[in-house]
Structure 1
Amino acid sequence: MLARGLALTFLGWVLGFLWFAVALPQPAGPGQADAVVVLTGGTGRVARGLEVLRRGWAGRMLVSGVDRDVKPHEFAVEYKVASAQMACCVTLGFQATDTMSNADETAAWVRSEKIGTLRVVTNDWHMRRALLELEQTLPEGVTLQADAVPTRPSLRTLFMEYHKLLARLVTRGWRG
């Protein structure tokens, strides 16, 4: 009986990992949202967020998890953001250091800005866990739109992220 349970658990783990690795979230197409949040930490994320902003698919943008040493004017120069757009539409968040604190920082910003629909930009392999954290933390009624930045993740990256997702699913109720 124990062997059968272990075999079924292992089979579930293998099938789950295959689904996780093969069916990665995709970029979103055109679509309106009140705002876009970019979770820092991967190539192409900020560029995608700015593209969403420039195309008018969102009116405001939060970049969550910006290094504390980055100055707003340095960000603007690096990403070619006009000062008027920085002033009206781009908020740099310096509090987050991981996915859970990205969710906390984003939730505080969403509350203060009264956001109803939020486009989430992160890498494809990171999107599922990011959405899980955001769904748990954001005010009730906020609609999320996943906008994954395509990558070519290594097997190691997929393996690690799959296990982080599983761990959060198991501990989900412990956060509050």
Structure 2
Amino acid sequence: MNIFLERPSRRSYGYWIGAFLVGIIIYFVFDEYHLIQRAAIVSWTENTEADCGVVLTGGQGRIQEGMSLLQQRRIKKLIISGVNPLSTLREIFPALPFYGEIDEKDIVLEKRSKTTYGNAQQSAPIIEALDCKSIVLITSKNHMRRAKQVFVSALPSEIKTMQRSVFSYPVDESLEDFYLEVIKSLFYRIWAY
């Protein structure tokens, strides 16, 4: 019996199609992994300046980085996005009294968003109302790729979006958090931008 003359079964077609689809999924997961890993932590190495800073809550060091930029006058206004609706500025940043030169009127707490997509959608009108021509996006290294893509798609093209990744002590994020970020980033790539 010659195997080259036999017609392949439907089962073998299904196997190859399934293997092909799994291969594509693995490719996209590793591609996203490498794109996320390329984000550099620049909070110690670059002197970024912009009209406004946007802090995405959810990790250590982010609000402090935004406050430092505001204190150093490298940004004029600071938007802290994703704040608990019941929280005040002094509750989320108790060290504020040590940043003497900061005027609390230059800080806007965005309290409606709960996701990265929501951060961008809720912050966009605030950014436009404050007449920001450029923003510094402040979040963790692993979150930066997705956050920047979502903000770029939510804002008018004339608003320049710069990145400022911060390091969260003692570790940036756990391996589980990182893989969750890869999956979220893939989902957002398909759905949000």
Normalised by the length of structure 1, the TM-score is: 0.85
- Match of 1:67? 84
The unaligned stretches of length 5 or more in structure 2 are 1-15
Percent identity (aligned): 22
Per-residue CA distance 1:56-84 (angstroms, 9 max, x = gap): 21111111111112224545644334486
The unaligned stretches of length 5 or more in structure 1 are none
- Match of 1:86? 104
One-letter code of the match for 2:187?
A
- Within a 5 Å distance, the mapping from 1:25-64 to structure 2 comes to 25-28=40-43, 29-64=46-81
Distance 2:157 2:125 in 1: 13
CA 1:18–1:128: 2 relative to 1, 3 Å: closer
**Does 1:155 find its partner at 2:170?**
no
**Does 1:168 find its partner at 2:168?**
no
- Match of 1:16? 31
Cα RMSD over matched residues?
2.3
**Does 1:133 find its partner at 2:153?**
no
Structure whose CA Rg is larger: 2
Secondary structure, aligned partner of 1:9? helix
Secondary structure, aligned partner of 1:41? coil
Q: 1:25 touches 1:127 (CA, 8 Å); kept in 2?
A: no
Per-residue CA distance 1:112-152 (angstroms, 9 max, x = gap): 11111000001111111111111111122110010001242
Moved more, 116-125 or 13-22: 13-22
Indicate the structure with greater helix content. Answer: 1
**Does 1:145 find its partner at 2:165?**
no
Secondary structure, aligned partner of 1:126? helix
Q: 1:120 touches 1:147 (CA, 8 Å); kept in 2?
A: yes
Paired positions, count:
172
Secondary structure, aligned partner of 1:33? coil
Moved more, 27-36 or 69-78: 69-78
